Structure 1
Amino acid sequence: METFQKLEVLLDTPGLNAVEEASALLHPLRETGGPRAEAIDHFILDFMTLIFVVEAGFEHFCPAARKLARTRLALIKMLRR
């Protein structure tokens, strides 16, 4: 499964180990630095927010938090090229 497909799956089913898994998947892309590394940092922060929202039981915020994380992931995809 491609890196971004795995990340999409993590966004759909976030769990406690998901941040570490996402960081490991994105590590090769992050090493180049620059705007891509910054976008990855923003994605990880938004992903951590999503996990907090899910774990805290704020279901009504989940769609917005998930959409924000997906938008950040789309930016990383664009910067990959």
Structure 2
Amino acid sequence: MPNLFLANEQVEASPPIVAYKIMSLIEAKANEKVSVFDITGEFRKEKWFSYNNIVLGLIFLYSVGLIDFDEPYVMKYAEN
């Protein structure tokens, strides 16, 4: 299982940092909902980008209860 931080990894590619960037993108939208395609499109030119980093960032956000999925959308979790 991947670690949150690795000694030889760039800090900006770690799951918590990528999760922060993803959450910032979601919160910038009016309805706080963004498609997974928009997420990859937004970050694909970043130096740290890889699909693995995006997935680990999304897993981090989901595991701490900040997002939910409504395929193909990622939404900010809202308590009812």
Q: Under TM normalisation by the shorter chain, which class is it?
A: 0.3 to 0.5
TM-score, structure 1 normalization: 0.33
Compare the two structures and name the one with the higher helix fraction: 1
